[in-house]
Structure 1
Amino acid sequence: MKNIKRRQFLAQSSAVAVSAAAVLPRSGSGQDSPAEKLNLAVIGCTNQGGAIGSQAIKNSLTHCVALCDVVPSRAEGLKAKMKGQCDDAVVFDDFREMFTKMAGKIDVCTIGVPDHAHFPIAMLAMSLGINVYVEKPLAHTFEECELLMAAEQKYNVKCQMGNQGHSSNQRLQFQSWVDAGIIKNVRRVDACMNKGRRWHPWGDIQSFPAAEKMPQGMNWDVWAGTAPKHPYNGKYDPGNWRGWYDYGNGAFGDWGPHTLDTVHRFLKLGLPHEIRAEKIEKPNEFIFPHATTIAFDFAERGPDMPAMTINWYDGVKNRPASAEDVDIPSCGKAIFSDDLTFVGGTHSASLKIVGGERQDDVKASLPELPESETSTNHMNNFLRAAAGLDSYCNSSFAVSGPLTQVFMLGCIAQRLGENLQFDTKTKQITNNARANELLKGHAPRPGWEEYYKLA
């Protein structure tokens, strides 16, 4: 691997300063493994963070040198689970301290933390020349996605968002069917997530919850990061943050990346010009609604890609009307073109042709899936790209950033319950001042502003 000049970000209590640091050179062999292993840091060591961290630790391309979690005992728990594979990893409860002390010793990191904390960690790592794997959704706001995409280019690092199906045969199937003209002239997609969510039993929240005793040793200030810092409560951590506007992105941000990634990428959707809040069940000022139907209108993109609409349905009983005619999974989608209908699930689930004038002819001549070195395990693709063994990450920020921005627009419509007009050139919401402010979200807390200046 080539030498990478890194800037060492020195976090202090009241300000953040930037200075220069360098990494020891690692020579790439161009063969099946690098001359040296990639030094790995795992940030977020429980739940999904622990799952992706475990995948990275077990990969033959890595050597884990650091574990970081706001509750250090969770990092120690991951050590125990890995049974000797990361015993010498240094444990931190603050990613800023970890990067200050070890930036020159880290080549790659996984980031599996609440949505609101993705951005500062990823920005700091990228500014240091560290390759990053960020669990989906990419960030917490539209603007954060924009800055992460810019940073990916500026710092020339390998970046992967954790929508794992984008390294599966499902991606290759969709791409090959578009290339073969099987998927074309799509007018509508109905996508849904009809499972219960953590916040559904909470009822009508009237305020932020009262303070509770934190887990022993928890670094709550780092957990809050750039977001508003409310007193600790179990309705925030672990996992419950998904339902709060301040910290999560609801069902859409959670499942959209696994459901609509190939539709967005290979139908070249870009950003919608209108977002319509067609149903909001139990709206709330603090948490996401219990059920929503949000429609996204996209302009024509060229031959065989007419203007089209994506309809998103979440909520236990909020099923698409089309589900009465085609068997859409509770987490899945139906794709309607001029002469074919497709149904598929999420992640690596394949598409099926279930209707349309051309279905008999098309089913008789489906293309074989192409052989590809990047049809692989998603984590392995990231690590191989970081090691110079794959040329690109399948869900780089250039790919996953605009996808996530669609979800961020949908989350704003869910929150406000209003239709939004979006200028795709200026990337501004033109008919609602508050909605336009939410493209940025909350101003960062004092002491956390510097991350927004690194792109």
Structure 2
Amino acid sequence: MNHFVRRQFFKASTAFGAATFLPAHIALGDQANSETRAPSERVNVAFVGSGGKGDRNRQAFLATGLCNVVALCDVDLQGKHVQPALTAHPDAPKFTDFRRMLDEVGDQIDAVVVSTPDHSHFAAGMLAMSMGKHVWVEKPLAHTFGQVERMIDLADRSGVVTQMGNQGHSEANFHQFKAWSAGGVFKDVRKITAYMNKYRRWHGWGESVTEYPTDPLPTGMDWNTWCNPSPMNPHSKRLHPGNWRSWFDYGSGAFGDWGPHILDTCHRFLELGLPERITAIKREGANTLVFPQASTIQFAFPSRGEMPACDVTWYDGRENLAEVEPEYKATVDRAAKENRPGKIIYAGDHVFQGDSHGDELEVISTGADEVMATLPKYSTKSSNHWANFLLSCKGVEETQSPFHISGPLTQVFNLGVIAQRLGGEIEFDRVTKTIKNNDAALALLDPAPRHGWEEFY
């Protein structure tokens, strides 16, 4: 692909404001492929990240019967975790660098699925969209606020189909929350308590880390591409293949992993947008490199139209249980014991509790059975998240979690991660999308990329 054309297309997007620019099919001519497939045709899909979650996504997409696997990409093609995908598709071309894949076989690809560590979502997603490919990106959408801003903008300008991989957004809780919101059930939500008390990979060692450890690089591994725009630190088993989520440079902690599965419907249907204040109430075992052992972070959202201001308080850490009223403590204790992340929603006279993903809400305040009987009915019949994406590529449906929906949700967690990292209180301007009171936090909002990755910015 012509790298100059690619850079020019990216240049239309800046961190906090985008210029008008030609859509992909005009800017890139024949290299763009954003036209939807006929309903009778299968979608040709390439996978960036082919082990772990990438392999589970591959299987889920194939189970729909709506796609072909036409290319596989992974920085560690000799890794044990990648072998199931390679064995299943012996004739599909394989690559360690997504840029080379899109350059060499881009004309055979309709859609790209990005299932890589958080810090490497951005570049692959941007390149695919710039070439007119439909894009699925795992949650969280990207590693930094500025990266997400660019992805939202390019998705809009390119006209491609987009989906973030928070699959519960196509399940029962989505339809329930949508119907109940339309029925006025959530018109007076002033407080939400979210909790995620499962064991995390950095628990027990993260607070004592003073530097990145070093292990031999696996044979054939493309470490430069693994690091992507983020700093290049030494390879180790504490990073690859599964521990990258522990580190501020590469992961998004519990926020990025579980936030999109717990708070997605709250954020969307309560129209929360971006917070005006983020406060680190607790950071237990705080470390400059690795996420805290436990944290309590509060987001203050202002009033929106007729909806009142709302505080969302997040609790993570094995013993950092949510602080709730005595009558709801048993609910939180039971969820922690059973390893069930979730949330409690205070909606005027009624209080609701739900777990993560597509789990439906239930009333936990007084008169639960009587209240449930009065709430709007809804259907839970719909395509699953993977079929929804492919059917949208074929022009049959619209995606449930497109980037203009999942992007601002991710940005809430991007801001939460900054609070976990620095502590204190962050004042955020929702209009200019900037941090007003902390220069260190402002620098983390949109950090410069590592040398060699500037073209994606």
TM-score w.r.t. structure 1 length? 0.90
Report the alpha carbon displacement of residue 241 of structure 1 after superposing the two structures with TM.
0.6
Correspondence for 1:22 among 17, 23, 30: 30
- Is residue 376 of structure 1 aligned with residue 360 of structure 2? no
Q: Write the deviation string for residues 53-103 of structure 1: whole angstroms up to 9, x where unpaired.
A: 222234322111100000113486133563xxx332101011011011011
Q: What's 1:333 paired with?
A: 343
8 A contact 1:40–1:57 mirrored in 2: no
Q: Write the deviation string for residues 429-450 of structure 1: whole angstroms up to 9, x where unpaired.
A: 1010110111013x21111100
Q: Supply the AA of the counterpart residue of 1:440.
A: D
Q: What's 1:140 paired with?
A: 143
* Structure 1 residues 79 and 283, CA gap change in structure 2 (3 angstroms): closer
User: Can you give the 5+ residue segments of structure 2 that lack an aligned partner in the other structure?
Assistant: 10-26
After TM superposition, the structure 1 = structure 2 runs for residues 173-188 of structure 1, keeping only pairs within 5 Å, are 173-188=176-191
Q: Secondary structure at the match of 2:78?
A: helix
8 A contact 1:142–1:409 mirrored in 2: yes
- Is residue 257 of structure 1 aligned with residue 260 of structure 2? yes
- Is residue 363 of structure 1 aligned with residue 368 of structure 2? no
8 A contact 1:190–1:320 mirrored in 2: yes
Distance in 2 between the 1:430 and 1:370 partners?
A: 44
After superposition, the CA RMSD in angstroms is: 2.2
Distance in 1 between the 2:114 and 2:226 partners?
A: 13
Distance in 2 between the 1:79 and 1:178 partners?
A: 41
Q: Supply the AA of the counterpart residue of 2:435.
A: I
| Percentage of pairs with the same residue | 43
Q: What's 1:67 paired with?
A: 72
8 A contact 2:51–2:85 mirrored in 1: no
Q: Greater CA deviation, 201-210 or 236-245?
A: 201-210
Q: What's 2:363 paired with?
A: 353
Report the alpha carbon displacement of residue 104 of structure 1 after superposing the two structures with TM.
1.2
Correspondence for 2:84 among 78, 97, 111: 78
Q: Supply the AA of the counterpart residue of 2:105.
A: M
Q: What's 2:315 paired with?
A: 313
* Structure 1 residues 66 and 165, CA gap change in structure 2 (3 angstroms): same
After TM superposition, the structure 1 = structure 2 runs for residues 108-127 of structure 1, keeping only pairs within 5 Å, are 108-127=111-130
- Is residue 38 of structure 1 aligned with residue 38 of structure 2? no
- Is residue 445 of structure 1 aligned with residue 453 of structure 2? no
* Structure 1 residues 117 and 431, CA gap change in structure 2 (3 angstroms): same
Q: Write the deviation string for residues 264-297 of structure 1: whole angstroms up to 9, x where unpaired.
A: 0000000111111111101111011000000011
8 A contact 1:9–1:128 mirrored in 2: no
After TM superposition, the structure 1 = structure 2 runs for residues 430-441 of structure 1, keeping only pairs within 5 Å, are 430-441=436-447
Report the alpha carbon displacement of residue 110 of structure 1 after superposing the two structures with TM.
0.8
Q: Supply the AA of the counterpart residue of 1:73.
A: Q
Distance in 1 between the 2:29 and 2:94 partners?
A: 22
8 A contact 2:50–2:85 mirrored in 1: no
Q: Secondary structure at the match of 1:257?
A: helix
Q: Supply the AA of the counterpart residue of 2:401.
A: S
8 A contact 2:172–2:380 mirrored in 1: no
8 A contact 1:23–1:105 mirrored in 2: no
Distance in 2 between the 1:130 and 1:317 partners?
A: 44
Q: What's 2:211 paired with?
A: 208
* Structure 1 residues 157 and 29, CA gap change in structure 2 (3 angstroms): closer
Distance in 2 between the 1:446 and 1:258 partners?
A: 34
Distance in 1 between the 2:376 and 2:351 partners?
A: 17
Q: Greater CA deviation, 426-435 or 73-82?
A: 73-82
Distance in 1 between the 2:29 and 2:419 partners?
A: 43
Q: What's 1:424 paired with?
A: 430
Distance in 2 between the 1:339 and 1:416 partners?
A: 37
After TM superposition, the structure 1 = structure 2 runs for residues 224-239 of structure 1, keeping only pairs within 5 Å, are 224-239=227-242
Q: What's 1:54 paired with?
A: 59
Distance in 1 between the 2:37 and 2:161 partners?
A: 18
8 A contact 2:7–2:455 mirrored in 1: yes
Q: Supply the AA of the counterpart residue of 2:395.
A: G
Q: Supply the AA of the counterpart residue of 1:386.
A: C
Which structure has more helix as a fraction of its residues? 2
Q: What's 2:402 paired with?
A: 396
Report the alpha carbon displacement of residue 178 of structure 1 after superposing the two structures with TM.
1.1
- Is residue 385 of structure 1 aligned with residue 392 of structure 2? yes
How many aligned positions are there?
430
Report the alpha carbon displacement of residue 371 of structure 1 after superposing the two structures with TM.
6.6
* Structure 1 residues 282 and 369, CA gap change in structure 2 (3 angstroms): same
Q: What's 1:3 paired with?
A: none
Q: Write the deviation string for residues 138-188 of structure 1: whole angstroms up to 9, x where unpaired.
A: 000001110000000111000100001000011000111111122220110
Q: Supply the AA of the counterpart residue of 2:440.
A: R
Distance in 1 between the 2:444 and 2:174 partners?
A: 32
